[in-house]
Chains A and B, each alone.
Chain A
């Protein structure tokens, strides 16, 4: 049954649809203005890739939060908590704790030693062309997986909320999102994208604060009562408030949970669209402060998802949540409608507001991902590999703008094909690939003197191939009723998340490639990198 048939049953159906479309249109128009304004100020490569490096720590912290809090966290976690109770909360914890890796080990050295992309740091003391090719490849693969999840999510959400169920309609929505993201990124560059992220973060936090407040008000700010009612209403009793409902069934599912946990905590510091945000501030100190702002904002947001998820479980029946979307993805908008009163205008207004916030979230994240991959294509692959460092800034920025269109077209195509796939699996995969292919090379490059070009290549390609390969043969792709191809079964790898194997493998290959390599590491370059990464001497 279609989700919003429940909602459509109320006589506000057409009202809320009009309202959702108007709010959404208002967001699109406002952000297009920002984009055009930012585009006029984007003159050189540092403007396009790094927003001129003039954002303040708070502005960037807000933008980082905007880039990070995707539809998967807003809709996905609220939905997972609404259906599986405590197990949904574990996502929030992994997603938050992960920021400490970025704060303690990655953000500042990256800001000091790179210019525009993750590849800048990986290739700093290595042979440029092979390492940049590898870094560009893994940046684009990680971003495309993440993009795919957001595009598929956009298709599902919009079709549900607007009652569009035909394939043509869903493809049209995916294409619309794709065209918007091409416009945002190719015109506005990093400056426009950063402002869009900030607007979106403020909207998302405001919406979440409002719903959290309304939920707590219903329970007189007594959290114990809220949890009790959620447990009772879920029909699962005390088990709803304990770990295990989703992952506790078998030994394999418990192992899968550990694998997911590792991928979440180690993935963030390897996500290219997050890493390039650290170049938008003037100094490493500002990069550190922006991570601290992000930790505060994202942490507060995830705490509020508890109220959203348990609130939905307490106030709406499980049948209704599942009928709306089998993975609970529409629990947050449903909750908003219930809080306003299902038959009142307030219900329609709240539903429309929260839905518009969810669209804004998807659009902004998609723009950030597109920017990361087109930057890496233009700066790592076009300028440094194809043109061997001889491209002018103008040529490089033009290549980045063209790459945006290419990547946009590819994700529209894949998003249209993936419109019915499992969104959560794709996001967790992006984290696992980032943690397997990118994080080991980043850490070795920054902290291990002996690390060589061969180590970097083995680590990036090894982590990438094993992570993607294991997913291909996992129950996410085949052999499971919820898989991408439910009718065939080539799933010999039992876990849905490859992290527990592929992340150690990425680290191992980096070590092995290094100790087996015949070339001597460039000691002078490492001395330079170390001094520069810790002090900022010579940083752009």
Chain B
């Protein structure tokens, strides 16, 4: 990573740190900001699986539920401290991910999409009837996290926990994708036979990709549970609809990029909110849909690449302009 990129990331982190207290957002908007970062973690995890390893999943809403309920159960019933529950939720969801990854070894493309979709539906159904674990329809109330006696009661204070975790996960992801594991995943995505010939154990890395992706989503699930004051298995974030939303996030933001995952998550979380103030109720969804379609048409590689393309265009324009000047002088 070059110096320019470092600086832009640092500026971004500073903005993310300072803006919320300066803006002093009302609770509902601060909640949305918390949520968009949680979804960004899911999107990064999903992008590892889809963008880097080339495996599809339409079941990430279910992974979010596994993480959320694991964390709620650990903290409420077993009285495990929040931060330990957070890590354990990631690990347990990761194991569930590995288990789902096993059938994925035999399935590809559309068939894998359907299998993960089935997983998504099954988990929600199981959680709905498994009332001793989830509380069922009457729900449960996950606790607000506590660290050294400080209770993260407000959405703003909780925002910083989420922000720090997001930054840590972005750094870890960045390190993973540019070393052996990342290269193996991308190689497998681009050509399975060549990857095998180069000594990559494709079965191992496919399973690993599912486990890793689920780990991120489990962490996000834990954060989500403690953001909510009240949670039922019927929560929209655990549904198939949300799984498709996660997919939309990485497609809009940019498949195979970390920045794209974050951009996509922020857009998909805020767009409905911004358009919801319009006078006609269903207009919000229509506009959201239209914007998604427009992005996919005009920036098929996602918004993360759009910035780079704009820069290229400017540079080319500038180069042409310079050429003209040179020609004039020569004349």
A and B associate: no
Q: Which residues of B contact A (CB under 8 A)?
A: none
Q: Which residues of A contact B (CB under 8 A)?
A: none
